[in-house]
Amino acid sequence: MNDLAGKHIVLGLSGGIACYKSAELCRLLTKAGATVQVVMTEAAAQFITPVTMQALSNRPVVTSQWDAREPNNMPHINLGREADAILIAPASADLMAKLVQGRADDLLTLMCLARPVERVPLLLAPAMNREMWAHPATQRNVAQLQADGAVVLPVGQGDQACGEVGDGRMLEPPQLLDLLLAHFQPKVLAGQRVLVTAGPTFEAIDPVRGITNHSSGKMGFAVARAAQEAGAQVTLVAGPVHLATPWGVKRVNVQSALEMQAAVQAEVGQATVFVAAAAVADWRPANASDQKIKKDGSGLPPALTFVENPDILAGVAASERARSGALFCVGFAAESHDLEVNAQAKRVRKGVPLLVGNIGPATFGQDDNALLLVDEHGCRAVPHGPKLALARQLVAEIARRLAAGHG
């Protein structure tokens, strides 16, 4: 996905060992479609060379306010005016202190001070020793930078170059890319609390066997990420999948349908939107064995008795909050054939205002999908595309319906 196509990003590097991560970040930004102009401080050049950053950005690196390549000799003015965003990664404690004080003794701080604040966002990715990060002066500076309109991104936790362990690491390049992408998304769900279910459930037969399905959880995880990008507070109830949790999303892991139902019931009372994207097993063994079932030599499988699992979506949709309009419910239907007919029937049966249909065998485990939005007025197709792009379209549709009073 060329999520940053047409965007011009100024990537600033201040001094710190985390500069080695900036090379990969620059590569990811260009891969996402952005043009990248690297600006480095003298200290940053002690950790990574301008030659490296020039090779990755395909543009000459600017290191001095006296750069004679600018016709008007004002790179600190021109660079900020041309940018869609300025991202400083790493942002050292010293650089953040300078920005708070309005000091401008190098090109990077000059550019930040001279940028058009109303249209060029400034994002800072702090990187420093854990004691430096925790110091009251640094925390005061973070608070002041935020008050001044800068976006101070979170720090990571873990091993540090000094040998210590704790908060203060710069986030990894893919995380920084995701946060930058999220910054550009319209905050159409600001103030909303969104609960999403994703992935399959696993219904145990015995300690080593069970019943599940091919759902990868990718679509539900994409919806959770898109909702968080749109400004919502998001909780994701996930079945057994191996996917990274979207940044800023609270995750609750479950295995069975009964566990998923309990997790949803624990969270849905605070939600304003419920998106049931999980592929919940319809049945479970009535009595799971507490020991592995052995073959008995007869050549016949063991006799299993099944019971129906609870319908999580229908239960939530029938609640007082959903019926009063305080909770907007969205369902998913993974069908194998006759998508429109089956999806519309499922929407009515579940009692939800909006149902999202797709052909399960064509999308399970894939990065792309095609959706059918089904409501009381009919169906609308969302063309085939990356699941995150489709999730963002679905989030925009949910926001539109919320603004219209669910119409």
Per-residue pLDDT tens over the stretch 296-325? 888 888 889 999 999 999 999 999 999 999
**Residue at token pair 């990537």:** 11
Sequential DSSP letters for 314-380: HHHHTSHHHHHTSSEEEEEEEESS-HHHHHHHHHHHHT-SEEEEEEHHHHTT-SEEEEEEEETTEEE
The H or E element that residue 80 is part of is helix 75-82
pLDDT at 334: 77
pTM of the model: 0.89
- Domains by residue range for the chain, with CATH: 8-184 (3.40.50.1950), 193-290+298-403 (3.40.50.10300)
Q: What is the pLDDT of residues 203-258, one digit of tens each?
A: 999 999 999 988 999 999 999 999 999 999 999 999 999 999 999 999 999 999 99
Q: What span, in angstroms and rounded, lies between the C-alpha atoms of 68 and 58?
A: 19
Q: What span, in angstroms and rounded, lies between the C-alpha atoms of 210 and 93?
A: 52
pLDDT at 64: 86
Cα–chain center distance at 224: 7
Strand-pair category, 283-285 with 306-308: antiparallel
Q: What span, in angstroms and rounded, lies between the C-alpha atoms of 153 and 171?
A: 9
Task: Name the residues annotated as catalytic.
Answer: 162
Phi, psi (rounded to 5 degrees) for 352: -115, 150
pLDDT at 71 over 90: no
> What is residue 217's three-state secondary structure?
coil
Q: Above pLDDT 90, what percent of the chain?
A: 76
> What is residue 180's three-state secondary structure?
helix
Q: What span, in angstroms and rounded, lies between the C-alpha atoms of 395 and 173?
A: 26
pLDDT category at 91 given cuts 50, 70, 90 is very high
pLDDT at 299: 83
Sequential DSSP letters for 231-271: T-EEEEEE-S---PPPTT-EEEE--SHHHHHHHHHHHGGG-
Cα–chain center distance at 203: 29
Q: Are 236 and 219 a contacting pair, CB within 8 Å? A: no
Return the bridge partners of 329, or none: 274
pLDDT at 19 over 90: yes
